[in-house]
């Protein structure tokens, strides 16, 4: 009876949700932060193997002069595709909800410049896809290291196709 109960209680990994990430450092040499892995739908240490799919960071990007928050990927190829910046959260939510495919965006190395009410697509190192809606973002440049946090809504396509599952 116990074995049948355990096998029936197996839960599926979510393919969508809302996540908050920040770049707070933990530990003591080596330091680590927590990122997010889509395939497991959870936060993962940057020291883990495999590491997280995405993390949030803050710094001055090449060619820039200001500190900005940005999403970084644990991939060998450009992983972020910018879909759009929207004036209101309602417009951003509508664009996110109607985005049914990762399509063929121009892939870039980092999710930058990052701002609230943006929609992005993400390609993991395993060539699976997710779409992200940036809900909120904060940046504190008065601390060392700079502190960034981001809350985003996400939908993940685990089968490798570019079509996102219906919610």
State pLDDT tens for residues 106-158.
999 999 989 999 999 999 999 999 999 999 999 999 999 999 999 999 999 99
39 in Cβ contact with 13 (< 8 Å): yes
* d(C-alpha 38, C-alpha 16), whole Å: 9
**How high is the pLDDT of residue 45?**
97
Maximum Cα interatomic distance, the chain, rounded to a whole number of Å: 64
| Structure confidence at residue 166 as a pLDDT band (50, 70, 90) | confident
pTM: 0.91
């Amino acid at each position: 009876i116990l074995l049948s109960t355990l096998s029936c209680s197996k839960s599926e990994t979510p393919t969508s949700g809302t996540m908050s990430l920040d770049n707070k450092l933990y530990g003591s040499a080596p330091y680590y932060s927590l990122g997010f892995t889509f395939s497991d739908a959870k936060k993962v240490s940057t020291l883990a193997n495999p590491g997280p799919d995405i993390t949030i960071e803050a710094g001055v990007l090449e060619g820039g002069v200001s500190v900005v928050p940005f999403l970084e990927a644990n991939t060998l190829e450009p992983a972020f595709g910018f879909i759009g910046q929207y004036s209101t959260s309602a417009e951003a939510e509508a664009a996110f909800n109607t985005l049914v495919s990762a399509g063929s965006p121009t892939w870039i190395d980092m999710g930058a410049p990052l701002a609230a009410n943006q929609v992005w697509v993400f390609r993991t190192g395993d060539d699976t896809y997710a779409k992200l809606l940036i809900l909120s973002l904060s940046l504190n440049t008065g601390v060392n290291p700079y502190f960034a946090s981001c809350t985003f809504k996400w939908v993940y396509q685990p089968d490798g196709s570019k079509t996102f599952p219906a919610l």
